[in-house]
Amino acid sequence: MVVVPVNYLAVVAAAVAAFVISWLWYGPIFGKAWMKSAGMGELTPEMKAMGMKKMPMNMMIQFVGTLLMAYVLQHSLVFASAYMQASGLSAGLMAGFWSWLGFVAPVTVGMVLWEGRPWKYWCIVAGNWLVNLLVVGAILALWV
């Protein structure tokens, strides 16, 4: 059995970075455009109150998902580095990009094709995942 070396501190740091990026992405950077393209419009006080009740649990679940993503990308990076003979920042960026292109982009395009979401919505959501995977890949690759 092969044991894949995992730097758990790097995984946590990468997950925190991705979490912060998403908070900025869906907040001050693209928050209004995302809500508009999602058809949410302006939030009413009732919607805000309901969202605030669910927010701690939703954020915790999302953070666990982000930790899992960083952990799996760490494994992908180890295998990709061995296969491609690449290391450092370029390996991290390649692992992040190819993971996004092969897994995230094709799956999320269904939001446009089957859910009737606008392409702008897809660009915001998929763009967030692209940036997150690039940053996570870079942190994991550089934190040896």
Tens of pLDDT, residue by residue over 47-100, are 667 667 888 888 999 999 999 999 999 998 888 777 777 788 989 999 999 999
Residue 43 clears pLDDT 70, i.e. is over it: no
Compute how many other C-beta atoms are within 10 angstroms of the C-beta atom of residue 109.
Answer: 14
Residue 41 clears pLDDT 80, i.e. is over it: no
As a whole number of angstroms, the distance between CA 73 and CA 92 comes to 9
Give residue 68's domain range: 8-142
Residue 2 forms part of a structural domain: no
For residues 39-76, b (16+ Cβ closer than 10 Å) or e, as one string?
eeeeeeeeeeeeeeeeeeeeeeeeeeebbebbbebbeb
Residue 20 forms part of a structural domain: yes
Helix, coil or strand: residue 2? coil
- The per-residue pLDDT of the chain, averaged, comes to 90
pTM of the model: 0.89
Residue 1 forms part of a structural domain: no
Residue 18 forms part of a structural domain: yes
More confident residue, 114 or 2: 114
Residue 112 forms part of a structural domain: yes
Amino acid found at 101: L
- Domain total of the chain: 1
What confidence tens digit (pLDDT) does each residue in 16-27 have? 999 999 999 999
Residue 71 forms part of a structural domain: yes
